[in-house]
Amino acid sequence: MTAPKPSSANSANFPHHRLVAYQLALELVKLIARVRIANAQLKQQARKSAASCALNAAEGAARQTQADKSRAYTIALCEGCEACAAVEIAGALGACSAADVRAVLELGLRVKNVLSRLVR
């Protein structure tokens, strides 16, 4: 069973639904979920880190002070980099295709660039 997508009326209720960084991080979560990684430990780490990236971006959007926002966005940035590194290492070990590594790194770079602008 899939969760319903937030309607335009409901998405105004959560600050992260308006955050481009969250949307990109969520795309990274979905992409990494589709990527075949033969190494179970790296697969689990990539998925966990990607999810943490999106979760921390959402948390940052909800925080009130700039310092709190910056802390959450910094964690999101680091987790996104870790997710990409897990896939990159899987590729280096032959546990993941080069095309999948390229796709993850390309999206991961977009996530990093957007989150970097939010960290102050």
Residue ranges per domain, the chain?
A: 14-118
SS3 20: helix
Report the alpha-carbon distance of residue 98 to residue 93 in Å, rounded.
11
Positions in the chain whose pLDDT score sits under 70: 1-12
Report the alpha-carbon distance of residue 29 to residue 8 in Å, rounded.
22
State both tokens at 118: 């939010």
pLDDT at 119: 94
State both tokens at 53: 């990236």
One CATH from 2.102.10.10, 1.10.1740.10, 1.10.10.10, 1.20.1440.60 for 14-118: 1.20.1440.60
pLDDT tens digits for 19-40?
999 999 999 999 999 999 999 9
| Mutual angle of helices 20-34 and 40-62, in 10-degree steps | 170
Q: What is the pTM of this model?
A: 0.89
